[in-house]
């Protein structure tokens, strides 16, 4: 590896390994210190700008995951009923043979389309997709779809790029507006460090959320908006910007299609109208529009890290992106930029297994994405919350096997009861996981994956202002009988007759195969953990050189993508009704200490935050006879649970809030089992039928003293 030091007098070997964290999906570059085969320290990669050697709490808890005796330690085969938690240890050959036999039977009787694989997007996603393509299944989906599918669709409708192909220049921004993007708790280290630099140099931050978060306390301006009314606020901001001609006229004239139609549409949506809907004063809305326009184009109206709140989500995200376009902040220093790939420097990207030739697939996806029923969501991620419906209704065909690759549908897809009912209809459930997740507890066969510190992974193609590649390197040997996920899929493929699509026997071989033709070798990553195709940041010429991928070559306010599918570009605003007197809108979110549903049992992180609570406005709580710290029952139309109350004036009276990711059911994850309530138990399975995201904040609940 790198910097190996041997003290022969004491027989001690020390080394430093540059790698990538995987305590969340950001994949921060890290430096791992190892002594005698044990991880002794992890810090941010000091060679990577913006990391500054720092990590978030989850990244710092990586060793706690590595040495956790409650994570999966060997293959398991279920011996009891699903969800009962009765398993027996198995050898790898026994477990893989069983999966191979059962999958072969499913494929023979029902065809490749009867197999679905859902995963948390990762560096080996091309391996997962290859596994399905090889058996003739179109049914791959990712956690991204449940998080930000509508943001993806909104970006494509305006620019022709996905949200993942866009980045934000936090360090040079002069004014940033965040719509529930709780950036100082749902942390990406480089983003936070760069934003702090910008704020130290005078950048302004506005935060909009029904709840006071840590980010709200750091903002120059905080608005406690009525939940669900952000679109009304944006329509009013656009109204002011257009009527007072605060926009970047030259940029808009050159690059925007549909300004006139937007102007005609937006006239009725005045700040005074928005005040009645949002609870934000008209004068304050006007003030923000004028203030932001003075900083253009170095302005960011943040499009959201999770964009999955409401059934009209795509139009909220489009309105945010249109505000950026009006400020001229698309492909601008201090604004948004399109990520540049190796081709901009005359280079080649790392190869992917999906580039091979596969049998033609003629059937639709299980979620019907890409068909007239569901034309616009991105098939690269799918619409995962449709899985229970597809299984139960056998529409468009029977689903018989599900592979959960470090993804937990029981805790991630709304309406956990419905999800379990669907899972019970399957012939085979396989979980590839690190922890005793709820889906692992429910599975027929559990195949344990090595942690990110115990494995080398596929190349990360890190496109951006400077295209680069990063590599996750194995730091220590596996502590338990676990394997790399990509190798697990290859070994299943070997057993079902599709092994020819996986031309490797180890992860080093796969990485070497990926690097062929790029001009780089594995050893090139030793010194700093990454390689760069060039040295200078690349921003396209704003006058002539922006390469939008829409049919018009412009930013399409009037969207061909939407309108050709039969949807409006500018839908009339639908007022958001207040909840009935005994009900609250359920809002969920994150904390700096936990990642989705995967870290609640981590020894370090569990000690710091072991259970979620229900935030409720203290005046509403008093009306219900509830005091701070009381246990209550929170119930929706699909589920209920018991949770402790946090009565506070730092939340809007119409809403209650809980952290996502708690209420686990796997007994072997004893620290987190039955601690708090899972939001998926309460949430209705509702969807933005245009953009594709679930509507996680369109469920209403009652709160009753216990």
CATH of the domain at 609: 2.40.40.20
- Residue 28 in this model has a pLDDT that exceeds 50: yes
- Residue 34 in this model has a pLDDT that exceeds 80: yes
Q: Cβ(205)–Cβ(178) under 8 Å?
A: yes
Both 323 and 195 in a single domain? yes
Whether 411 maps to a domain, the answer reads yes
Domain range enclosing 622: 584-705
Helices (H), 428-566: 438-442, 485-496, 507-515, 560-564
Q: Give residue 7's pLDDT band: very low, low, confident or very high (50, 70, 90).
A: low
Both 216 and 328 in a single domain? yes
Supply the DSSP string of 153-184, one letter for each residue: HHHHHHHSS-GGGEEE-GGG-SEEEEES--TT
- The number of folded domains in the chain is 3
Both 131 and 175 in a single domain? no
pLDDT tens-place string over residues 138-189:
999 999 989 999 999 999 999 999 999 999 999 999 999 999 999 999 889 9
CATH of the domain at 411: 3.40.50.740
- DSSP code of 572? P
pLDDT, mean of residues 180-207: 96
Both 184 and 250 in a single domain? yes
- Residue 344 in this model has a pLDDT that exceeds 90: yes
Both 376 and 306 in a single domain? no
Whether 532 maps to a domain, the answer reads no
- Residue 617 in this model has a pLDDT that exceeds 50: yes
Cα 245 from chain centroid?
A: 36
pLDDT tens-place string over residues 649-705:
999 999 999 999 999 999 999 999 999 999 999 999 999 999 999 999 999 999 999
How many alpha carbons fall within 13 Å on the CB side of residue 13? 9
Exposure string over 537-573, b if 16+ CB within 10 A, otherwise e: ebbeebeeebebebeeebbbbbbbbbeeeebebbeeb
Whether 386 maps to a domain, the answer reads yes
Whether 23 maps to a domain, the answer reads no
- Boundary (domain end) residue, out of 466, 495, 517: 517
pLDDT tens-place string over residues 546-572:
999 999 999 999 999 999 999 999 999
pLDDT of 1 reads 47
Here the tokens at position 530 are 């990454």
pLDDT tens-place string over residues 352-389:
999 999 999 999 999 999 999 999 999 999 999 999 99
Both 248 and 393 in a single domain? no
Here the tokens at position 388 are 């229970």
Both 110 and 200 in a single domain? no
Both 249 and 327 in a single domain? yes
pTM: predicted TM-score of the whole model, two decimal places: 0.96
pLDDT of 96 reads 98
d(CA 41, CA 30): 10
271-278 helix and 230-243 helix, angle to the nearest 10 degrees = 170
Whether 499 maps to a domain, the answer reads yes
Both 313 and 363 in a single domain? no
Both 591 and 697 in a single domain? yes
Both 237 and 263 in a single domain? yes
- Boundary (domain end) residue, out of 334, 364, 382: 334
Both 491 and 606 in a single domain? no
Q: Find, among 537, 530, 529, the residue nearest to 169 by Cα.
A: 537
pLDDT of 2 reads 54
């Amino acid at each position: 590896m790198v910097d190996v030091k041997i003290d022969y007098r004491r027989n001690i070997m020390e080394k430093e390994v540059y790698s990538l964290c995987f305590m969340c999906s950001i994949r921060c570059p890290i430096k791992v210190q190892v002594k005698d085969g044990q991880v002794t320290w992890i810090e941010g990669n000091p060679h990577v700008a913006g990391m500054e050697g720092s990590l978030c709490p989850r990244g710092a808890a990586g060793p706690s995951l590595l040495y956790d005796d409650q994570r999966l330690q060997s293959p398991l085969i279920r011996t009891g009923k699903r969800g009962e938690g009765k398993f027996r240890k198995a050898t790898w050959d026994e477990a893989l043979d069983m999966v191979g036999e059962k999958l072969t039977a499913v494929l023979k009787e029902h065809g490749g389309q009867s197999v679905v694989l859902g995963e948390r997007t990762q560096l080996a996603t091309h391996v997962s997709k290859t596994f399905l393509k090889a058996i003739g299944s179109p049914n791959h989906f990712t956690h991204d779809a449940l998080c930000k599918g509508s943001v993806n669709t909104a970006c494509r409708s305006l620019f022709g790029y996905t949200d993942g192909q866009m980045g934000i220049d936090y360090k040079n921004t002069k004014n940033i507006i965040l719509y529930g993007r709780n950036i100082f708790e749902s942390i990406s280290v480089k983003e936070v460090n760069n934003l702090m630099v910008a704020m130290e140099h005078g950048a302004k931050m506005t935060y909009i959320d029904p709840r006071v978060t840590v980010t709200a306390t750091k903002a120059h301006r905080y608005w406690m908006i009525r939940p669900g009314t952000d679109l009304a606020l944006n329509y009013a901001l656009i109204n002011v910007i257009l009527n007072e001609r605060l926009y970047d006229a030259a940029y808009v004239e050159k690059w925007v299609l549909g300004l006139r139609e937007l102007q005609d549409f937006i006239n009725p949506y005045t700040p005074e109208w928005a005040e009645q809907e949002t609870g934000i004063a008209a004068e304050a809305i006007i003030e923000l529009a004028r203030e932001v326009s003075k900083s253009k184009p170095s302005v960011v109206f943040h499009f959201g890290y999770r964009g999955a709140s409401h059934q009209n989500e795509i139009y909220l995200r489009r309105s945010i992106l249109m505000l950026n376009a009006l400020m001229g902040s698309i492909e601008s220093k201090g604004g948004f930029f399109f990520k540049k790939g190796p081709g901009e420097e005359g280079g080649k990207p790392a190869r992917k297994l999906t580039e091979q030739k596969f049998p033609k697939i003629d059937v639709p996806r299980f979620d019907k994405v890409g068909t007239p029923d569901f034309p616009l969501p991105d098939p690269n991620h799918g619409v995962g919350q449709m899985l229970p419906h597809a299984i139960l209704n056998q529409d468009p065909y029977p689903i018989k096997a599900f592979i959960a690759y470090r993804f937990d549908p029981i805790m991630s897809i709304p309406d956990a009861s419905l999800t379990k009912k669907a899972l019970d209809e399957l012939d085979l459930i396989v979980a590839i996981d690190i922890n005793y997740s709820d889906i692992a507890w429910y599975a027929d066969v559990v195949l344990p994956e090595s942690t990110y510190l115990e494995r080398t992974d596929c190349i990360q193609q890190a496109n951006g202002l400077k295209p680069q590649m990063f590599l996750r390197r194995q730091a220590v040997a596996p502590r338990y009988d676990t394997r790399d996920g990509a190798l697990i899929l290859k070994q299943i493929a070997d057993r079902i007759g599709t092994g020819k699509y996986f031309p490797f026997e180890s992860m080093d071989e796969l990485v070497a195969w990926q690097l062929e033709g790029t001009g780089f070798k594995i050893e090139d990553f030793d010194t700093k953990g990454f390689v760069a195709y060039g040295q200078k940041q690349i921003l396209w010429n704003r006058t002539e050189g922006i390469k939008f991928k829409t049919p018009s070559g412009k930013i399409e306010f009037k969207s061909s993508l939407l309108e050709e599918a039969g949807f409006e570009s500018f839908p009339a605003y639908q007022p958001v009704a207040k909840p009935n007197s005994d009900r609250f809108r359920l809002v969920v979110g994150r904390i700096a200490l936990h990642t989705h549903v995967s870290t609640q049992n981590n020894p370090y992180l569990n000690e710091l935050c072991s259970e979620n609570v229900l935030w409720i406005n203290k005046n509403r709580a008093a009306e219900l006879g509830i005091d701070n710290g009381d246990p209550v029952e929170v119930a929706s139309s699909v589920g209920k649970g018991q949770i402790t109350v946090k009565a506070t004036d730092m939340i809007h009276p119409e809403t209650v809030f809980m952290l996502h990711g708690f209420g686990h059911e796997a007994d072997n994850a004893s620290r987190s089992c039955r601690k708090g309530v899972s939001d998926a138990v309460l949430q209705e399975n509702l969807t933005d039928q245009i953009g594709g995201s679930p509507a996680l904040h369109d469920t209403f609940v009652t709160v009753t003293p216990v």
